[in-house]
A = this chain, B = another copy of it.
Amino acid sequence: MTKSSKIPRRILLGPGPSDVHDRVLRAMSRPVIGHLDPEFLQIMDQTQGMLREAFATTNPVTFPISGTGSAGMEAAIVNMVEPGDRVVVGVAGFFAQRLAEQAERNGAEVVRVEADWGTSIDPERIAAAIQEGDTKIVALVHVETSTGVLQQLYDVVQAAHAAGAMVIVDAVASLGGHPVDVDARGIDVCYSGSQKCLSAPPGLAPITFSEAAVARVKQRRTPVRSWYLDVSLLTKYWGGDRTYHHTAPISSVYALHEALRIVNAEGADERAARHRRHHQALVTGLEAMGLKMVVEDPQRRAWTLNAVRVPDGVDDAEVRSFLLRRHGIEIAGGLGPLAGKIWRIGLMGESATRNNVLLLLGALELAMKLQGHQHTPGAGVGAAVEAYAG
């Protein structure tokens, strides 16, 4: 018989999953009940209400997709894009590339507005691309998890709407950390993942569709290619009818429900301020160790995902392995062209704490010192302490 596995407790400072609160872990172990049980229907209603609060929207069509953040991306694309549609995608990282690829798989004519990885995309360039053709959809990544860039949204939404196009925003690494403000920004479709700044386990992808987006789906000339992700069918289950579509992942919904209670009790402003505070302390500490952030413009740095360059002479994988084995701390390496060149340090949801910032800086100082890196021991932690004290 296969042995039971002992799961170590980690400190999750990678790009997600983030640390999960004990209350949420306990919620996962509640008894499983039926997906049409009146008690579960109530949990669904409450979960939808709390998701609207987190997205800052009144959209009726707001619920978690029964898949991970990538399924949320695919749900946005398959419902909104029809074959032949002109789709403008802002591309400056791994997840934006994926958005473009998914749109292409759905038969879209994709126009990529590219920028160097580690920079944000000038909204005016996107606006120009929108106007160069009969653009139907514009897709943007809010926080690019591969680079740590925070993308401006507001001006792009304005330009898209002026041209009659609709906007999809990937908020996988921002919802619950940065303000997303779906209604205030006029975002048409926005999706996220449960395991980033909401700090639930991975497996659900919160998504919201504006009434205009729902109307667009209803007017499609072609059927949505995915049955599993067809928002019209999903709405019949999550909406008032409760028409059976698929069996909701009961335990994962319990966990998201409990996680959202924690998120909303903290409050959006306080939660954003907390993410910003710890991000700033971490960056101050990293820079005091002589490290360079991937994103040069401080205004364009995400608070939730901090990308920092691996200095010359230091072995990326050795440091990560040391942190994991000796300190139980997970951070991540780079993706695509940044593999081996950067570390990605997530401070998301439950993971965004002063303890984690100070501990990571201390452990990173040790790991790098063992690799022969030149910095004054204590410099990183000291700078973070000053940032907090200030």
Contacts and interface: CB of A to CB of B under 8 A. Distances in A.
Contact of A265 (B1, B10, B38, B265): B1
Nearest to A222: B105
Given A16-B247, A67-B228, A105-B225, A8 B31 contact: yes
A376 interface: no
Contact of A2 (B49, B246, B335): B49
A258 B251 CA distance: 15
Interface string A75-96: 0000000000000000000000
Nearest to A257: B5
Contacts of A39: 5, 7-8
A25 interface: yes
Contacts of A28: 25, 28-29, 251
A69 B67 CA distance: 12
A31 B2 contact: no
A42 to B, nearest CB: 7
Contacts of A245: 70
A338 interface: no
A37 interface: yes
B202 A248 contact: yes
Given A244-B335, A261-B1, A202 B249 contact: yes
A250 B4 CA distance: 15
A236 interface: no
Contacts of A43: 5
A33 B5 contact: no
Contact of A246 (B7, B19, B35, B70): B70
Given A37-B10, A66-B67, A66-B71, A250 B17 contact: yes
A254 B7 contact: yes
Nearest to A335: B244
A12 interface: yes
B14 A25 contact: no
A258 B28 CA distance: 14
B35 A202 contact: yes
Copies in the complex: 2
Interface string A252-270: 1011011011001100000
Interface string A194-227: 0100000111000000000000000000011111
A102 B34 CA distance: 25
Interface in A17-35: 17, 19-20, 25-26, 28-35
Nearest to A172: B247
Contact of A201 (B193, B226, B250): B250
A304 interface: no
Contact of A50 (B2, B227, B251, B260): B2
Contact of A74 (B227, B244, B335): B227
A101 interface: yes
A346 to B, nearest CB: 10
B34 A14 contact: yes
A32 B249 CA distance: 17
Interface of A: 1-5, 7-10, 12, 14, 16-17, 19-20, 25-26, 28-39, 42-43, 46, 49-50, 66-71, 74, 98, 101-102, 105-106, 193, 195, 201-203, 223-228, 244-252, 254-255, 257-258, 260-261, 264-265, 324, 330, 332, 335
18 contacts: A1-B264, A2-B46, A5-B43, A5-B254, A7-B30, A8-B31, A10-B33, A10-B34, A20-B32, A25-B32, A28-B29, A35-B202, A68-B248, A70-B246, A70-B247, A201-B249, A202-B251, A225-B225
